């Protein structure tokens, strides 16, 4: 079965949405393989967001993501990468469909970075890469 790396971002953590997000993952039928609360270092974020280095929203994104605790989660289940992205909704929380995590809880705050509650891996390759960053001990 497939694994995906989910992050409940600082906005989701601060707003008390961690349990809500974990509950939606579990109700969907995915298993929680690992869960950890931590405040990300800029170094870990540079690895995680390697594809965005140099983009206009990169520095604000790293400032935001290192501003407080996040919950890192490894989820497990058949096609859970695609499935979690569907649960999360599209990146822009204003456009995300109601019923999705971003659609139900996210909105535009007029900031340089979209504070959109969660991250989910977008491919098996990124999932493997991201799990190794956030859970180096996990097989």
Query: What are the residue numbers of the active site?
Result: 119
Indicate whether 25 belongs to the interface with ligand ATP (CB under 6 A): no
Q: Extract the tokens encoding 62.
A: 């790293």
Among 70, 119, 127, 131, binds ligand ATP (CB under 6 A): 119
Cβ–Cβ < 8 Å for 88, 120: yes
As given in the structure block, the two tokens for residue 36 are: 């950890």
Strands across the sheet with 31-38, in order? 31-38, 70-77, 2-8, 118-120
* Of residues 122, 121, 123, 124, the one with CA closest to residue 134: 121
As measured in angstroms, the least distance from the Cβ of 8 to ligand ATP is: 11
Q: Is 42 annotated as a binding residue?
A: no
Binder of ligand ATP out of 61, 70, 72, 73 (CB under 6 A): 61
Strand ranges (E), the chain: 2-8, 31-38, 70-77, 118-120
- The verdict on 120 binding ligand ATP (CB under 6 A) reads yes
**Residue 116 in contact with ligand ATP, rule: CB under 6 A:** yes
Interface residues toward ligand ATP, by CB under 6 A: 57, 61, 91, 113-114, 116, 119-120, 122
Annotated binding site for ATP: 9, 57, 85, 91, 102, 116
């Amino acid at each position: 079965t497939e694994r995906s790396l989910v992050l409940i971002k600082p906005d989701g953590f601060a707003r008390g949405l961690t349990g809500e997000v974990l509950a939606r993952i579990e109700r969907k039928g995915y298993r929680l393989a690992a869960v950890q609360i931590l405040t990300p270092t800029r170094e870990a974020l540079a690895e995680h967001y390697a594809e965005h280095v140099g983009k206009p929203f990169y520095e604000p994104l790293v400032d935001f993501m290192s501003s407080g605790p996040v919950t890192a989660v490894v989820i497990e289940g058949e096609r859970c990468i695609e499935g979690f992205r569907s649960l999360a909704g599209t990146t822009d929380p204003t456009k995300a469909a109601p019923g999705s995590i971003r659609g139900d809880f996210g909105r535009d705050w007029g900031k340089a970075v979209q504070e959109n509650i969660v991250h989910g891996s977008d491919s098996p390759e990124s999932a493997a890469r991201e799990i190794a960053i956030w859970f180096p001990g996990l097989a």
